[in-house]
A and B are shown apart, each in its own frame.
Chain A
Amino acid sequence: MALLQLSEPGQSVAPHQQRLAAGIDLGTTNSLVATVRSGRAETLPDLDEQHLLPSVVRYTEEEVIVGEQAKACMVSDPLNTISSVKRLVGRGLEEFNSLGGQLPYHFTQEQTLVPRIKTASGDVSPVEVSSEILKVLAKRAEKTLGGDLEGVVITVPAYFDDAQRQATKDAATVAGLKVLRLLNEPTAAAVAYGLDTGSDGVHAIYDLGGGTFDISILRLNRGVFEVLSTGGDSALGGDDFDRVIAEWIMRQAGISDGTDHKVLRRLMRDACAAKEALTDSPVASLDLDLGNGARWQGQLTRDQFNELVDPLIRKTLAPCRRALRDAGLSGADIADVVMVGGSTRTPRVRELVGEFFKIPPLVDIDPDKVVAVGAAIQADVLVGNKPDDEILLLDVNPLSLGIETMGGLVEKIIPRNTTIPVARAQEFTTFKDGQTAMAVHVLQGERELVTGNRSLARFELRGIPPMVAGAARIQVTFSVDADGLLSVEAMEQSSGVRASIEVKPAYGLSDTEIETMLRDSIEHARDDMEVRRLREEQVDAKRVIEALEAALAEDGARLLNETEQEQVKTALAELMEVAEASDHKKIRKGIEKLEKTCEFYVERRMNASVQKAMSGHQLDEFE
């Protein structure tokens, strides 16, 4: 039988309804996957109890190998073994070449926009390499959880640009994963430390990973993280620590730059091992195979190491200072400093960062896992596995979203302050007999009339089968995804014809504009209500008038004598006149009066149609 996990009170899911989600930290050096089980977020190990998956992919002629096994071949097969691919994702050829000089791969130099890497199994793009890593992690999660993943949250550096974010999403798509959201790494780290449930305050997230450095200043305001400023260096990380050690060794051992790939790889690997050893011990021994049977032996002390990496660590403090200045803050305003990334294990890093912010940094959660843990918590929330009162207020849509209805009115479909992602549907119908198309006008704002709101998009639903007015059932669905992208779909239920559109509602709206729109709606609340009532009655009057005119044209002469026809037409003309006025009560009365006047006509029409339906049939057919 299936294995179960503990749920929150009242939150047990029905069988087959459990929504599995995972958080993925797609890192430069290592990647991780984490999930929430029985209320606890933890990273998931593979069968060898390894949590970290080296972000290394090896392409051979037969297969693709990811992780530790691929990493082991970095020395023996450097050209087909791709590491640190995150540095290349979403980059253009120019940036590629500037970075490519540091990387031992052969790039194709064709005039394509996306450069590709030559490997034994053909040319591959960075997106494809990333997707191989994602596939392995997703498979691990699915095996661990015993089911398919509903979706994943993937973390990206705070200042990844649109191209890099899109490329990351593309990689997930290639891997067959649904991205619930791309989450900024610093926000994920803050969520992992539960800073989102603490008191409001400003936090600094210092993330020194393998290949990138990020500093982010976040402000928690009523449960929502606001990124005040970010800074960093997208080409600075633990790899650079390795490189300065390697360069130091090269100087000590008298190795020249022109040495072949394999020796350089080995050198980098030994440098990395020395760095890791120096976290716990004051001295690291080195024993290097230089090829051709030659060896070099030596020692690196922590003091020497500190001296080597100090310039690099200080290079991270300049962006910290800038980020604080951008946020208009000083070091004293920072409530917590969260340490993220394996390189923050280096004691010297903790020391200098603590000195800079004048508080001891938070280091309780494994700095390699903290981002994945935060992503898993977020994924769990986004997939809907949390009780309502515990939902993190992640993002809300700032203004209501709706569509235009008859009379220039706005029907709100998603009210403002709804947490996203969200999907809401509402049914609409046709206004005229035989209407085969409907215009959908998507609006944003709080006012009752179209004119007071912001028009986002328009599209038409065509091919509605001809029916009498009010018979068609057109379902309009609004969904806003976690990235704030709105999609609107209109579908006629009986025929299944549909049309849809996508828009970015927040695009181009500043906070002040949103505020003005909100204030207007409050100031004009009463006027808006009056106008709405008037328009509604006008629309109703128009509907009655049109229906009556259609009826008269069809059978007025047959069912009514001349006096009666005159009577109906007079009443009709009266309503037409009243409908032009701006008093909704009068219009209502006019409609009621007309309906009363025409009661006998409606009755006759009913009888006539019943007779028509029954004529030519035997009575017993109706029993």
Chain B
Amino acid sequence: MGVTLTEAAANHVLQYLEGRGKGVGIRLGVRTSGCSGMAYVLEFADESSDEDLIFEEHGVKVLVDPKSMLYLEGTELDYTREGLNEGFKFNNPNAKDACGCGESFNI
């Protein structure tokens, strides 16, 4: 199943990649930190490593390392607007609960 991108998210990623002028795609991942266990990683990717899982959707390459994949299976990355604030949002079916701010989560 892997991870997916909404079209809105893909369009923004493409814009940002173009503005940045380099990069093969984006990297999604999780790290252990934060107030509720796990935190998402969302970064530009300049290169992929051999063990990376690579998904491609709407013209965007998404790289995920196999360890993070355990926590991200089935995740959809979306781009939304809430009032003046806009940004990327992880819709992760694995996440059970998140801290109040939502910046970190638990499986």
Chain A residues positioned under 8 Å from B8 (CB to CB): none
Contact between B45 and A15, CB atoms less than 8 A apart: no
Question: How far in angstroms is the closest Cβ of chain B from A44?
Answer: 8
Contact between B43 and A11, CB atoms less than 8 A apart: yes
Q: How far is the CA of A461 from the CA of B9 in the complex (A)?
A: 56
Chain A residues positioned under 8 Å from B42 (CB to CB): 4-7, 12
Q: How far is the CA of A32 from the CA of B78 in the complex (A)?
A: 29
A3, A12, A14, A140: the one contacting B89 at CB < 8 Å is A3
Question: How far in angstroms is the closest Cβ of chain A from B24?
Answer: 11
Chain B residues positioned under 8 Å from A140 (CB to CB): 84
Contact between A39 and B19, CB atoms less than 8 A apart: yes
Contact between A10 and B43, CB atoms less than 8 A apart: yes
Contact between B44 and A15, CB atoms less than 8 A apart: no
For residue B50, CB closer than 8 A to chain A, the reply is no
Q: How far is the CA of A15 from the CA of B80 in the complex (A)?
A: 19
Contact between B16 and A145, CB atoms less than 8 A apart: no
Contact between B35 and A5, CB atoms less than 8 A apart: no
Contact between A2 and B101, CB atoms less than 8 A apart: yes
Known: A8-B43, A47-B84. A16 touches B19 (CB 8 A): no
Chain A residues positioned under 8 Å from B40 (CB to CB): 4
Size band of the B side of the interface? 35 or more
B86-101 interface mask toward A, CB cutoff 8 Å, 1 = contact, 0 = none? 1111100000001101
For residue A256, CB closer than 8 A to chain B, the reply is no
B16-47 interface mask toward A, CB cutoff 8 Å, 1 = contact, 0 = none? 10011000001100010111000111111110
Known: A3-B88, A4-B87, A15-B39. A38 touches B27 (CB 8 A): no
For residue A144, CB closer than 8 A to chain B, the reply is yes
A-B contact count (CB 8 A): 91
Known: A14-B33, A15-B39. A8 touches B84 (CB 8 A): no
For residue B13, CB closer than 8 A to chain A, the reply is yes
Chain B residues positioned under 8 Å from A15 (CB to CB): 33-35, 39, 99, 101, 103-104
Q: How far is the CA of A12 from the CA of B43 in the complex (A)?
A: 7
Question: How far in angstroms is the closest Cβ of chain A from B60?
Answer: 11
Known: A2-B102, A38-B12, A39-B20. A9 touches B27 (CB 8 A): yes
Q: How far is the CA of A46 from the CA of B13 in the complex (A)?
A: 23
Chain B residues positioned under 8 Å from A16 (CB to CB): 34-35, 101, 103
Q: How far is the CA of A46 from the CA of B83 in the complex (A)?
A: 10
Contact between B86 and A3, CB atoms less than 8 A apart: yes
> Which single residue of chain A is at the shortest CB-CB distance from B39?
A15
Question: How far in angstroms is the closest Cβ of chain B from A524?
Answer: 46
Q: How far is the CA of A107 from the CA of B107 in the complex (A)?
A: 64
A142-162 interface mask toward B, CB cutoff 8 Å, 1 = contact, 0 = none? 011110000000000000000
Question: How far in angstroms is the closest Cβ of chain A from B58?
Answer: 16
For residue A40, CB closer than 8 A to chain B, the reply is yes
Size band of the A side of the interface? 20 to 34
By secondary structure, the A interface counts as loop
Contact between B88 and A9, CB atoms less than 8 A apart: no
> Which single residue of chain A is at the shortest CB-CB distance from B27?
A9
For residue B51, CB closer than 8 A to chain A, the reply is no
Question: How far in angstroms is the closest Cβ of chain B from A419?
Answer: 23
Question: How far in angstroms is the closest Cβ of chain A from B69?
Answer: 17
Question: How far in angstroms is the closest Cβ of chain B from A421?
Answer: 26
For residue A1, CB closer than 8 A to chain B, the reply is yes
Contact between B84 and A144, CB atoms less than 8 A apart: yes
Question: How far in angstroms is the closest Cβ of chain B from A48?
Answer: 11
Contact between B43 and A7, CB atoms less than 8 A apart: yes
Q: How far is the CA of A576 from the CA of B52 in the complex (A)?
A: 68
Chain B residues positioned under 8 Å from A144 (CB to CB): 84-86
Q: How far is the CA of A426 from the CA of B27 in the complex (A)?
A: 38
Q: How far is the CA of A140 from the CA of B89 in the complex (A)?
A: 21
Q: How far is the CA of A44 from the CA of B12 in the complex (A)?
A: 17
Known: A14-B34, A15-B99. A6 touches B88 (CB 8 A): yes
> Which single residue of chain A is at the shortest CB-CB distance from B36?
A15
Chain B residues positioned under 8 Å from A1 (CB to CB): 89-90, 98, 102-103, 105
> Which single residue of chain B is at the shortest CB-CB distance from A144?
B84
> Which single residue of chain B is at the shortest CB-CB distance from A47?
B84
Chain B residues positioned under 8 Å from A40 (CB to CB): 16, 19-20
B44, B90, B102: the one contacting A9 at CB < 8 Å is B44
Chain A residues positioned under 8 Å from B101 (CB to CB): 2, 15-16
Chain B residues positioned under 8 Å from A10 (CB to CB): 43
Contact between B45 and A9, CB atoms less than 8 A apart: yes
Chain A residues positioned under 8 Å from B85 (CB to CB): 3, 143-146
A95-129 interface mask toward B, CB cutoff 8 Å, 1 = contact, 0 = none? 00000000000000000000000000000000000
> Which single residue of chain A is at the shortest CB-CB distance from B102?
A1
A5-42 interface mask toward B, CB cutoff 8 Å, 1 = contact, 0 = none? 11111111011100000000000000000000111100
Contact between A4 and B19, CB atoms less than 8 A apart: no
B13, B19, B31, B105: the one contacting A12 at CB < 8 Å is B31
Known: A16-B103, A39-B19. A7 touches B44 (CB 8 A): yes
Contact between B90 and A4, CB atoms less than 8 A apart: yes
Known pairs A3-B88, A16-B103; list 8 more (Cβ under 8 Å).
Answer: A2-B101, A3-B87, A4-B88, A5-B42, A6-B26, A12-B39, A39-B16, A143-B85
Chain B residues engaging chain A, CB cutoff 8 angstroms: 12-13, 16, 19-20, 26-27, 31, 33-35, 39-46, 80, 82-90, 98-99, 101-105
- Interchain Cβ contacts under 8 Å between A and B, 22 examples: A1-B102, A4-B90, A5-B87, A6-B13, A7-B42, A7-B43, A8-B43, A9-B27, A9-B43, A9-B44, A11-B43, A12-B31, A14-B33, A15-B104, A39-B16, A39-B44, A40-B16, A40-B19, A143-B85, A144-B86, A145-B85, A146-B87
Closest 5 CB pairs of A and B: A3-B87, A1-B102, A15-B103, A15-B34, A144-B84
